[in-house]
Structure 1
């Protein structure tokens, strides 16, 4: 019987790991969500949106063919690791074209096995069957749950410089689409960037607009107490009046002349600033910076 691509179940992004015992917590790998299918027509690997990428993942497909099952649908993440052993999203694209033998598929769920649809089984049971199917030591690996409470696992993941964790209800069934039964909690990082504009509208939280080495990154909230906030607006006042940067003719933004920088805290692993907050600021000629 031919198995079709199943639209993925997707975790919601939340701020805090869930509390209580009914959850498993896994590393959030920084890669491409991938579905691995085996049926009578052989092995196929699909992207998150259902595009067939088997030809890009030939070494993975060859290894998948050795798994001891007639047919399966496995969910995982294609990753490549850096020297520190962490998944490295930026190196992934070139690895796929230049060295696909270095790719890993980290398997985290099993939706179908030997003609049986497992999506109505609880997650904990699906993962137990999956773990037994995936041998240790290869380039297809089982995504181990990390022991401990959500808070502890999240803290350790961030300390280890990982992107974050995914927490999943142990008793949850598999349903395509977005769900709160799976939650992703991302780590934050801090970085120094240039403050190139501000948005101040009545009744809305104030934001500074940031650029990193000339690349526009988005906005960060200003949450300082009154005196520090006033000090920021005083600095801003002396720099207002720059033309809008190319491609950023945003309404209601005041653009600034160069020379003001800030330290921003934001979610790791995003192209643009998300959940970002300005932690400190200075003029580039200030002493101490």
Structure 2
């Protein structure tokens, strides 16, 4: 199977939350743990499928790409995980994510195709 995924590289802390400082540390930056972590600690949280077995999916709406992604990413633990998806009020979801100490949320339009670059089609909303 050949595929191109879109996702976010993460390193999880002891509570299972993504931690950007730990990710930087695993890539060679000096981090808060005081020493380099092995890159094998990093995971990919996949949230989009752009290509699958000879088919360019970028012009397909996100909800279809997401459904296909759920079919191809294994459910067991591994280096590539399926990101969680929520169809909740975005303000309440962001508030809850911040209260849990998460970095933030990603937002995508379900009906839109994929466009590369910073187009505003998707947003990474950080807890600050």
TM-score, structure 1 normalization: 0.39
How do 1:172-187 residues align onto structure 2 when only pairs under 5 Å count?
Answer: 172-187=112-127
Contact preservation (8 Å) 1:118, 1:126: yes
Give the Å deviation of 1:169. 0.5
Residues of 2 paired with 1:183 and 1:77: CA distance?
13
1:82 aligns with: 13
**Secondary structure at the counterpart of residue 131 of structure 1:** helix
Residues of 2 paired with 1:181 and 1:76: CA distance?
15
Give the Å deviation of 1:184. 2.5
Instruction: Compare the two structures and name the one with the higher helix fraction.
Output: 2
Give the Å deviation of 1:161. 1.1
1:62 aligns with: none
Which sections of structure 1, spanning at least 5 residues, go unmatched?
Answer: 1-68, 189-289
Give the Å deviation of 1:92. 1.7
1:118 aligns with: 57
Contact preservation (8 Å) 1:165, 1:184: yes
After superposing on structure 2, the runs of 4+ consecutive aligned residues of structure 1 that deviate more than 3 Å are: none
Q: Paired residue for 2:103, among 151, 155, 163? A: 163
Structural RMSD (CA): 1.5
1:265 aligns with: none
Residues of 2 paired with 1:146 and 1:94: CA distance?
29
Give the Å deviation of 1:182. 1.1
Asked if 1:151 corresponds to 2:82, the answer is no
Q: Which has the larger radius of gyration?
A: 1
Contact preservation (8 Å) 1:76, 1:109: yes
Instruction: Compare the two structures and name the one with the higher strand fraction.
Output: 1
Residues of 2 paired with 1:107 and 1:177: CA distance?
17
Residues of 1 paired with 2:97 and 2:55: CA distance?
35
Give the Å deviation of 1:72. 1.1
Matched residues, number: 119
Contact preservation (8 Å) 1:96, 1:103: no
Contact preservation (8 Å) 2:19, 2:103: no
Residues of 2 paired with 1:175 and 1:76: CA distance?
14
Asked if 1:108 corresponds to 2:43, the answer is no
Comparing both chains, which one has the higher relative contact order based on Cα–Cα distances under 8 Å and sequence gaps of 6 or more? 2
Q: Paired residue for 2:25, among 82, 89, 94? A: 94
Residues of 1 paired with 2:14 and 2:20: CA distance?
13
**Secondary structure at the counterpart of residue 152 of structure 1:** helix
Residues of 1 paired with 2:50 and 2:26: CA distance?
28
